[in-house]
Amino acid sequence: MTGLSPAEQAPTSALRAQPSDGSVETAVLGMPSASGLPTASGTFTASGIPPAGDRASADGLALAGGPARAGGSTVPVSPAPARIVQPSDALAELIAGNRRFVSGRPQHGHEVSAAAAASGGQLPHAVVLGCIDSRVPLEAIFDQTFGSICVIRSGGHVVDRAVLGSVGFAVAALKVPLIMVLGHVRCGAVDATVKALRSGERPDGDVGYLVDEIAPAVQAVGVDDPDVVAKAMRAHVARTVRRLRDVTGVPGAIAAGRVATAGAVYDLDTGWVDLLA
Ligand SMILES: [Zn+2]
């Protein structure tokens, strides 16, 4: 992809939002405005957001059972998004998508036509590791369509070899420019880890593995801290980001400026994603 000026090619450090007051609005304001998003091909702009009525009608057609097919063949009605190559553009798109989600004006739904449009191949612009929490559907909160982001989820976004290999595959084979770890407030896995450390009663078996992996972040904050769950979540996200930066192939991609990482926390109540400083 060409056409980006040096000024638009933000260094990795610029992807980290300024420390915020807890609201994502602050973090978002630290990013390019919706109207000022990079205009490189594949980067969505605010002006490209379809009116809600259009989406509603598309949903209705899909539910009616046949709109995506005409004459027996699938007819994509919307083009698959073009490639986003720059890490800064990828993060800007996720932040813009979260803004669209929060504002109630998502650009993407779950129309089968969008699935068909992306079926020929994938050009995802991020791999996002999040928690299994059912209240944190990653494609929805970032307003991303089919083929846009690779999603990995585990309890408390705990990493194991499968997660590491998946991140490595996304970077090496799918050429994603952004690796994001997204935690969320009131995470049950972090809360369970705090309880386990306070009581000394570690859950048995495989669930205990989650506790073991989250425990260092809780211990770093201190189990007696009155705000330990929230603080430990952010520490756990930061630790997870650091771990993913060591995945095979990733350090070289980061050094070459092809890949950047970001950590963030999702607010269940407001829908905002707060980038960690
Ligand atoms: Zn969780």
Q: Give the global pTM.
A: 0.74
Bridging pattern class, strands 178-184 and 260-266: parallel
Q: Where are the domains of the chain?
A: 27-33+84-276
Contact between 192 and 211 under an 8 Å Cβ cutoff? The reply is yes
Bridging pattern class, strands 69-70 and 73-74: antiparallel
What pLDDT is attached to residue 79? 59
What is the token pair recorded at 48? 């490209």
- Ligand 1: distance of its center to the CA of 42 in Å? 31
- Helix (H/G/I), strand (E/B), else coil: 264: strand
What is the token pair recorded at 43? 């980067």
Taking only the tens place, the pLDDT of each residue in 222-251 is 999 999 999 999 999 999 999 999 999 999
Residues 156-178, mean pLDDT to the nearest whole number: 98
CB proximity list for 37: less than 8 A, separation 6 or greater: 43, 44, 45, 46, 89, 92, 93, 96
β partners of residue 263: 181
Residues 106-124, mean pLDDT to the nearest whole number: 93
- Ligand 1: distance of its center to the CA of 170 in Å? 23
At 78, is the pLDDT very low, low, confident or very high (cuts 50, 70, 90)?
A: low
- Ligand 1: distance of its center to the CA of 135 in Å? 9
Residues 203-222, mean pLDDT to the nearest whole number: 97
- Ligand 1: distance of its center to the CA of 210 in Å? 11
- Ligand 1: distance of its center to the CA of 130 in Å? 8
At 83, is the pLDDT very low, low, confident or very high (cuts 50, 70, 90)?
A: confident
The radius of gyration of the chain from alpha carbons, rounded to an integer in Å, stands at: 19
What pLDDT is attached to residue 80? 60
According to CATH, what is the number of the domain 27-33+84-276? 3.40.1050.10
Ion ligand 1: residues, CB < 5 A: 131, 133, 187
What pLDDT is attached to residue 277? 83
What is the token pair recorded at 32? 């390019």
What is the token pair recorded at 17? 């939002």
Taking only the tens place, the pLDDT of each residue in 246-269 is 999 999 999 999 999 999 999 999
Contact between 277 and 17 under an 8 Å Cβ cutoff? The reply is yes
**pLDDT, averaged across the chain:** 79
CA distances from 137 to 174, 184, 244 (A): 22, 11, 21
Residue in the structure block whose two tokens are 């698959």: 80
- Ligand 1: distance of its center to the CA of 197 in Å? 17
Q: What percent of the chain has pLDDT over 90?
A: 69
